[in-house]
Amino acid sequence: MKFCIPLACLLIGFISRSPAAESAEYQPELFKSIRLVYEDSFDGDLNPKFWEVRQSSTWVVEGGVLKGSESSRAFQKKMLDKGDKAHAGLKPVIWLKQVPENFVCKMRMRYNAESYHPRFPLLDVGHHIHTLIFAEKATTLKIKKNVETKVVEEPLLPLNQWVDVTIELKKGVLLLKIGDKKHIFESPEIDMAGHHQIDFKGVDFGSCEIDHLRLWEGK
């Protein structure tokens, strides 16, 4: 009997961390079922299969948090001397790769900055495809490089505080949830065909932090 309780605890722990159990913790709105593709609580090195640092911005894993900030001053000067301010790494930029065409992405994150900038911070759902731009009084979705623009008063993404952000996407529909507020964007132009990534882009000289992320394929 001495060994029954520890063994049971081990079995319960294994079951609770299984992909099926992890998926059961989140009930999608756009899909009948979901399959866990990737999960990271940032307890080790950054996984290069799923993450790609861009514009030589600075990204480190510290204390279970992925932290991003601007590039080095030397890199900034080199790019600014070439007249390429857009790619000078003034803001943290990183790509989440291997995103399924139909997906759910749930993360706890924060953008840190003194104030919002025009068009930043943002999340690109597909590289420059569907852009979620966050501001103080509105959230804007630009679909396929301005084919359509949809502006909503909520959900809003506050600066300098941790928030839970969820994105669900299938053809024709994108659901955005921030905290307990959500909006469903609908357009026949919404899809992820051929664009399997999510881009995180902060504010110039600000930072981005992510302390947990889960990515599922929607069925």
Q: Say if residues 210 and 42 touch (Cβ distance below 8 Å).
A: yes
Q: Say if residues 178 and 159 touch (Cβ distance below 8 Å).
A: no
165 vs 9 pLDDT, higher one: 165
Peptide bond into 121 cis (omega under 30): yes
The pTM of this model reads 0.88
Rounded CA-CA distance 68/154 in Å is 26
Which pLDDT score, from 0 to 100, does residue 24 have? 53
According to DSSP, the β-strands at 58-62 and 34-40 are: unpaired
Q: Is 120 helix (H, G, I), strand (E, B) or coil?
A: strand
| Mean pLDDT score, 84-94 | 95
pLDDT tens readout for residues 40-55 = 999 999 999 999 999 9
> Which domains are delineated in the chain?
27-218 (2.60.120.200)
82, pLDDT greater than 50? yes
204, pLDDT greater than 70? yes
| Mean pLDDT score, 84-113 | 97
Region of residue 211 (left: phi > 0; alpha: psi -120 to 50; beta: else): alpha
